[in-house]
Amino acid sequence: METLKTHAVHGGTLRYLRHDSATTGTPMTLSVFTPPGEGPFPVLIWLSGLTCTEDNFTTKAGAYRAAAEHGVIVVASDTSPRGEGVADDPAYDLGQGAGFYVDATQAPWAPHFRMESYVTGELIGLIDAEFPTTKARSISGHSMGGHGALTLALRHPHLFRSVSAFAPIASPTRCPWGEKAFAAYLGDDREAWAEHDAARLIEAGVGDGCYDDILIDQGDADPFLAEQLKPELLTAAAEAAGQTVTLRMQPGYDHSYFFMASFIADHVAFHAERLKG
């Protein structure tokens, strides 16, 4: 991986990196924070939301003080492949910046939009090869990235110790963002869509017993709450399936990084306890 820039922060080191991805067929960018000390350290993977790059979380979330205190590497990847020859759409909620953490099966997206395989395969392998990790890892994310964190954790429970999310798209098969993206990336088969819907995966018992708790923070002033996010579908599925989900409705908070910055330390501590337990 090529190091683009390096910063000292909270006694640790933050690196912006780029590599040529065999999975997406494009260059991919990410940031990696390593805490002070020699390690090895467990890893928290962060997935961002629509329109974001690796830089949004890195500069706005304020996660690194808690990561340094708990001794956790934090990895923030880009949200999609990008570049010349990569399919795109004029809208913000499809194409570059909107990978939805699935492997596309439809043209023109299939050649590059393979974000599930990228995160669960290539990215994890690179981090374990290049950094002093314990090979224990957890996953979290926001909005589209919260959807990604939940579904990847449920579909690949052998890879992750714990999962949390901020304002996740809880059931993308039942909201406009998800319906648009899944129709484009996965085609018309709604049964295939359900395999990437956290609420429906929990209903089906996928990942059953793998996570003692799933932590969700949601602002009650979020403008996307009723139409796009629908956390009640996730909690209803969890209650029916016997999966513990802790949904914290935060009064007055919206969908922004101000919301995440207010509670990110809780999420880092939540994961650190399970990563080191």
Q: Is the pLDDT of residue 207 over 90?
A: no
pLDDT digits (tens, 9 = 90+) for 125-179: 999 999 999 999 999 999 999 999 999 999 999 999 999 999 999 999 999 999 9
Element (DSSP H or E) covering residue 144: helix 144-155
Identify the domain containing residue 181 by its residue range: 2-276
Give the residue numbers marked as catalytic: 143, 222, 255
pTM of the model: 0.97
- Our count of domains for the chain comes to 1
pLDDT digits (tens, 9 = 90+) for 29-42: 999 999 999 999 99
* Residue at 261: amino acid letter: A
CA distance 182 to 178: 6
CATH number reported for the structural domain that contains residue 211 in this entry? 3.40.50.1820
Specify whether the CB–CB gap between 172 and 199 falls below 8 A.
Answer: no
